Amino acid sequence: MKDLRDTPLLVVEDLSKRYGARIGCVDVSFDLWPGEVLGIVGESGSGKSTLLSCLAGQLAPDTGRVLYQGHDTLEMGEPQRRTLARTDWAFVHQNPRDGLRMGVSAGGNVGERLMAVGARNYGAIREAATDWLGRVEIDATRIDDRPRQFSGGMQQRLQIARNLVTAPKLVFMDEPTGGLDVSVQARLLDLLRGLVRDMGLSVILVTHDLAVARLLADRLMVMQGGHVIEQGLTDQVLDDPQAPYTQLLVSSVLQV
Amino acid sequence: MIEIKNLCKSFTLHNQGSAVIPVMTGAHLRVAPGECVALTGASGAGKSTLMRMIWGNYLAASGVIRVGDLNVAQASAREIIALRRDTLGYVSQFLRVVPRVPTLRVVAEPLLALGTPEAQAEARAMDLLERLNIPQRLWQLSPTTFSGGEQQRVNIARGFAHPYPALLLDEPTASLDGANRAVVLDLIAAAKARGAAIVGIFHDEAARAQICDREVDVTAFTPMPAGVAP
């Protein structure tokens, strides 16, 4: 299937972002390969969300390069970057309200992203929206309901449908299962795993939940104080952590 | 197929006074295709540690762990992921799955990851589950709620779904009844017959005697405490 000779989808070189004297993230470099899920873990303030925002083009880094399929996304113009964000990229926010339009119907939320890439046929858009609601396990009868009538878990699944309907290649996820009940989380994890495999998605997943990271991520980066202090295969980093901070992080998780 | 040379491992516990605990030194192992080698030694001697290093789960301090063409001790995460997908299988003692995924899916997953068509992957999964006596009414349920023995068998089915050229088996017959134990031994024998190189931990002595070609006592690789003559 996938081949070691493939080229990376995303190449990140020496990315740094400071807020005045305060450190956001420093000298972050990594490659992301097609179909790979990279988890970024660390506690609040470790720089993982800053890094994600810089990668997704929502925040301008001070230095460094972000190459998507060989194109420097920091050099390209704003219209090009916006096109990328609507087509090849997707961003799943922790809070569904940040990624959905709460006043628009569920079907409208999904259809809107299709229309943004040029879909015009109402029947086809509605059909795609219905299909996607089904894939994220939202009953088709809810297609005309507003997201605010949905539970938190349903809202999150709707946000995922809205993001994936245009078949992106790279998905940024910021704590996608945060704030959900454990049972709802499990359902979402299962759904995400299936979608990642079936669509061959590459994902950059920010989470502070090591259990979520273990189940979803192929590879992990551990951040502390803006620096990547350890990276490697997910189960290796979690079962044989090398850095003092990673050891502390792993040993602090309560066993159930 | 599997070749280990001069492998060493220690753990540094940074949060416990930076204690350094050497757990393995100068380990050697060679497993040819079609051969099954049992790791022996008392509990704590390092059998599981050695197995986890071959799997890429524990980092080696130094030495070589060659599986097929890859030196796991030096490999990138991406290379190990590819190795685990294509070449190296692992039946651990514990089943770790996403809650809610049906048993049939859990077993078919290694094949799906290789791009096997769904129908074919599921047919293979059904065959294995049937041979391992997992009742059909359980196939659509998540194995997280199953008994220990059932989970063990689901894990085995998953590990044998794809014909890996190399296999790691951690106590594959523990907590199984006689009939299922015989099925598992048959599966291992069949894997040997098709040329798989197998490293196993078996506390079940009869199983070990029946299926393994050689035993390697890992006590020989246990570092001696300072001041104690070997």
Give a yes or no: residue B18 inside a domain: no
Q: What is the ipTM of this complex?
A: 0.90
* pLDDT tens digit at each of 230 positions of chain B: 999 999 999 999 998 888 898 999 999 999 999 999 999 998 888 999 999 999 999 999 999 999 999 999 999 999 999 999 999 999 998 888 877 889 999 999 999 989 899 999 999 999 999 999 999 999 999 998 898 889 999 999 999 999 999 999 999 998 899 999 999 999 999 999 999 999 999 999 999 999 999 999 999 998 876 544 44
CATH of domain A1-9+17-88+169-256: 3.40.50.300
Burial of A6 (0-12, 13-18, 19+ CB in 10 A): exposed
Whether the per-residue pLDDT at A5 is higher than 70: the answer is no
When the pLDDT of each residue in chain A is averaged and rounded to a whole number, the result is 90
Residue B22 lies in a domain: no
> Is residue B94 in a domain?
yes
∠ Cα A256 B48 B164 (to 5°): 100
Tell me the average pLDDT across A95-116. 93
Q: Between A182-199 and A152-164, two packed helices, what is the crossing angle to 10 degrees?
A: 10
Neighbours of A213 (CB within 10 A): 23
Query: Which of chain A's residues have a Cβ under 8 Å away from the Cβ of B112?
Result: 197
Which single residue is written with the structure tokens 């060989």?
Answer: A70
What pLDDT, on a 0 to 100 scale, did the predictor assign at position B116?
A: 93
- CATH number of the domain at B43, please: 3.40.50.300
Evaluate whether A140 touches A126 at the Cβ level (below 8 Å). Answer: no
Q: Choosing among A11, A190, A256, which should be mutated to test the B contact, i.e. which has the most B CBs within 10 A? A: A190
Q: What is the DSSP string of A143-186?
A: TTS-GGGS-HHHHHHHHHHHHHTT--SEEEEESTTTTS-HHHHH
**Alpha-carbon distance A93 to A174, whole Å?**
5
Query: Which residue is listed with tokens 């990547």?
Result: A228
Q: Could you tell me whether strands A170-174 and A22-32 are parallel, antiparallel, or unpaired per DSSP bridges?
A: unpaired
Mean pLDDT within A109-124: 91
> What is the model's pLDDT at position B47?
93
Residue of A1, A2, A240 lying closest to B57 (CB–CB): A240
Counting every residue, how long is chain A?
A: 256
Question: Do residues A230 and A241 lie in contact, with contact meaning Cβ atoms separated by under 8 Å?
Answer: yes
Q: pLDDT tens across B43-63, in order?
A: 888 999 999 999 999 999 999
Provide the token pair at A186. 């499990």
Mean pLDDT of A112-122: 89
pLDDT digits (tens, 9 = 90+) for A26-73: 999 999 999 999 999 998 889 999 999 999 999 999 999 999 999 999
d(CA B168, CA B165): 11
> A236, B56: Cβ pair inside 8 Å?
yes
End-to-end CA separation in angstroms for chain A = 37
Nearest alpha-carbon partner for B36 in B154, B157, B172, B152: B172
- Number of A to B CB contacts under 8 A, please give it: 66
Q: How many domains does chain B have?
A: 1
Give the total residue count for chain B.
230
Task: Give the C-alpha separation, B189 to B212, whole Å.
Answer: 9
Whether A36 sits inside 8 A of B99 (CB atoms) is no
**Quick count: other Cβ atoms within 10 Å of Cβ B15?**
12
